[in-house]
Amino acid sequence: MVEKEAVVKALVEAAKEAAADEERGMPAEVRAQAQEVFGEVEGALWAALVEAVGGKRRGAKSEPTQVERVVGEAFEHPLYVETSQGMLYAMHGPDLEVGEGPEYIESPEGIGEVVDVTWVGEGDALYIFSNEGRFYGVDPRMVPLWDRRGEGRTIRDVLRLSGEEQARFLVPRRQIATGRVVHVTTQGKGKASDGGEFDKGEGLDRSGREAFLLNEGDEAVAVMAVGRGATIFCASAQGQGIHFEASELRSMGRKAVGVNLMKLGGEDDAVISAFEGTRVRQLAVVTAEGLGKRVEFGEFRTQGRGGAGMQVLRLNPGDRVVGVVACNPGEDLGLILSSGRVWRLPAAEFSLMGRSAKGSRVVELEDGEEVLGLVALPCGG
């Protein structure tokens, strides 16, 4: 892969040659390399200008050449794996290793392909929210284990899911007890409810209760517990993101649809990610075609909810954003591909770029394959 320094040097040399020949343009090869590495020719030209004058752009932040990675206890915590057949399993954290590229996770027939992986830390109890807006309380030890899947036990043997209902979002009970529960939908709707509406000290209920209502054709894309002074970030498929104060969401009862959180760019747009913005350092973004980057979260100022937000990534025609997550450069990211392949890789493998950059290629896709999503994971070595 071409390095940034090599591209900058090539641009400087090309500029020197062009100075002697006013009709000489930027070489096509150098232009292509600048586009690939920096995501935009303009950013590469600015870097070359800085190099040429021997200075540094005022206020510029340089990315460290080496990111400290420390494997902690979090690596041992379970990962929760969701499959295309609506199954949910608990996997031993170290079973998903950092690799050189995407790999298939061995699974038996009948449970479908991996479509999501979630890390929530350790806890004595979990609240599991379904795609239909219901919630269930469960001891984590009751979630079927991935390495015991051959016994035929599924999440439907644990929770009283109805019809096509699927277990989708996991929130530790301790977070709900001390905060508010916020849900966000693909249509840009959402609301907050006091944690006491869910945790009344009556123990865990596996039969299910209503957590929020959904408009026809809408579905939840995120459920989170937020504390006081929190902010929320929502991102759309067309590459926009909005950052607003959670206090803008007044508390409602569980049986409510909510209010508008984000203005979308038409019928083809949808909210695809949402997370709490408190203490976030960077965000990572990836597209269906495998382009990705990291962005300093400070570039996204807080705004009033309900607007279109700010640009997260400049898309190629026909591409779309499929994942945006809060990111720590010293930890890991997980790429989920449509074929069922999964790749755990260091977050620092995603180049740090500005909001308007397209990103660089982070994964080589097979024919007909696309990226389904992106998840944040603790450091795994």
Q: Check: CB of residue 292 under 8 Å from CB of residue 284.
A: yes
Contacts of 220 (CB under 8 A, 6+ apart): 129, 131, 133, 168, 169, 183, 184, 185, 186, 212, 214
Rounded Cα gap, residues 356 and 182, in angstroms: 29
Look at residue 91 and tell me whether its pLDDT is greater than 90.
yes
Plot region of 258 (φ>0 → left; ψ -120 to 50 → alpha; else → beta): left
pLDDT of residue 3: 61
Look at residue 36 and tell me whether its pLDDT is greater than 60.
yes
pLDDT of residue 105: 87
Instruction: Measure Cα distances from 367 to 102, 289, 342, 364 in Å.
Output: 14, 11, 16, 10
Q: Check: CB of residue 126 under 8 Å from CB of residue 206.
A: no
Instruction: Please choose, from the candidates 167, 178, 77, 75, the residue with its C-alpha nearest in 3D space to the C-alpha of residue 128.
Output: 167
Cα 191 to chain centroid, rounded:
20
pLDDT of residue 255: 84
Look at residue 42 and tell me whether its pLDDT is greater than 70.
no
Secondary structure (3-state) at 170: strand
Instruction: Kindly state the average pLDDT of the residues 233-242.
Output: 98
- To the nearest 10°, report the CA torsion of 244, 273, 260, 171: -90
How is residue 88 written in tokens? 């949910």
Look at residue 65 and tell me whether its pLDDT is greater than 60.
no
Rounded Cα gap, residues 171 and 201, in angstroms: 16
Secondary structure (3-state) at 298: helix
Look at residue 18 and tell me whether its pLDDT is greater than 70.
no
98 strand-pairing partners: 344
Rounded Cα gap, residues 254 and 241, in angstroms: 26
- Which residue in the block uniquely carries the two structure tokens 């041992």? 76
Strand order of the sheet with strand 134-138? 167-172, 126-130, 134-138, 209-210
Rounded Cα gap, residues 28 and 233, in angstroms: 38
Question: Per residue in 191-224, pLDDT tens?
Answer: 999 998 888 766 788 999 999 999 999 999 999 9
The 10 Å Cβ neighbour count of residue 108 is 8
Looking at residue 37, what DSSP letter applies?
A: H
pLDDT of residue 325: 98
Beta-strand pair 126-130/180-185: unpaired
Instruction: Kindly state the average pLDDT of the residues 160-164.
Output: 90
Instruction: Please choose, from the candidates 296, 370, 358, 359, the residue with its C-alpha nearest in 3D space to the C-alpha of residue 328.
Output: 296
Dihedral sign computed on CA atoms, order 310, 311, 312, 318: positive
118 strand-pairing partners: 80
